[in-house]
């Protein structure tokens, strides 16, 4: 029997080991590689061309959402499951937009992950039911991709001048984007806007 080939990407070493060990106990699943950040995960996918990639959202080098979008574009036969601690509706919407076929919370029973790998490998979609309901009720993400890039940097404490240099924009353009984002979110200022967006999973 050909086993389902899986790569696990997770930046916390203990969690990575536990997830890989858990999947390895299944007779029909093999973990062909592990990665501790998004860039290494993308390289592992290139090297192994797995059936399924299981990835965390918050990772260094490249987030799970950026990784999912890259894998979908370059290696469309690899199906993606996002596994996260963040029960934020906006993350789910962005994960699906990035091409993820599965979205599970880390506090779910262990057996559910192996079952999700099998179902996603079969071409099905697997989404945490409570999160799906919350996403439906929370409404769409109002931010554009550029507003998100700028607001994320502002939320990290970067000045408009630094953001402008990093993204090759004028300072005025950066301020306009921030003003638009603040207005859309009904926030008091850029820090408040970043906080609101992060709580919704839009950053």
Same domain, 42 and 124: yes
- pLDDT per residue as tens digits for the range 118-158: 999 999 999 887 676 666 556 677 888 899 899 989 988 99
Boundary-marking domain end, from 137, 163, 181: 137
The DSSP line for the chain is -PPEEEEEE-SSHHHHHHHHHHHHTSTTEEEEEEESSHHHHHHHHHHH--SEEEE-SS-SSS-HHHHHHHHHHH-TTSEEEEEES---HHHHHHHHHTT-SEEEETTS-HHHHHHHHHHHHTT--EE-HHHHHHHHHH------HHHHHHHHHHHTT--HHHHHHHHT--HHHHHHHHHHHHHHHT-SSHHHHHHHHHHHT--
Torsion sign (Cα): 39, 43, 44, 46:
positive
pLDDT value, residue 137: 58
Q: Report if pTM > 0.75.
A: no
Q: Which residue range is the domain that position 180 belongs to? A: 145-200
Same domain, 26 and 125: yes
Same domain, 13 and 30: yes
Same domain, 94 and 192: no
Same domain, 27 and 114: yes
Tens of pLDDT, residue by residue, the chain (203 residues): 799 999 999 999 999 999 999 999 999 999 999 999 999 999 999 999 999 999 998 888 888 989 999 999 999 999 999 988 877 767 888 888 889 999 998 888 878 899 999 999 999 999 887 676 666 556 677 888 899 899 989 988 999 999 999 999 999 999 999 999 999 888 889 999 998 888 777 87
Same domain, 126 and 34: yes
What CATH number is associated with residue 15? Answer: 3.40.50.2300
């Amino acid at each position: 029997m050909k086993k389902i080939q899986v790569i696990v990407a997770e930046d916390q070493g203990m969690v990575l080991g536990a997830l890989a060990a858990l999947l390895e106990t299944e007779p029909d699943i093999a973990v062909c590689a592990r990665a501790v950040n998004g860039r290494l995960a993308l390289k592992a996918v290139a090297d192994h061309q797995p059936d399924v990639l299981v990835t965390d959202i918050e990772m260094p080098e490249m987030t799970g959402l950026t990784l999912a979008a890259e894998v979908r574009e370059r290696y469309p036969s690899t199906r993606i499951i996002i596994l996260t601690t963040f029960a934020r509706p906006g993350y789910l919407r962005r994960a699906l937009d990035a091409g993820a076929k599965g979205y599970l919370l880390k506090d779910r029973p262990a057996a559910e992950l192996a079952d999700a790998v099998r179902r996603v490998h079969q071409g099905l979609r697997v989404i945490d039911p409570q999160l799906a309901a919350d996403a439906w009720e929370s409404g769409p993400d109002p931010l554009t991709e550029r507003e998100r890039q700028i607001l994320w940097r502002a939320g990290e404490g970067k000045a408009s001048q630094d953001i402008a240099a990093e993204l090759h924009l004028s300072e005025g353009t950066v301020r306009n984007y921030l003003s638009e984002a603040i207005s859309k979110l009904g926030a008091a200022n850029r820090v408040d806007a970043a906080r609101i967006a992060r709580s919704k999973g839009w950053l």
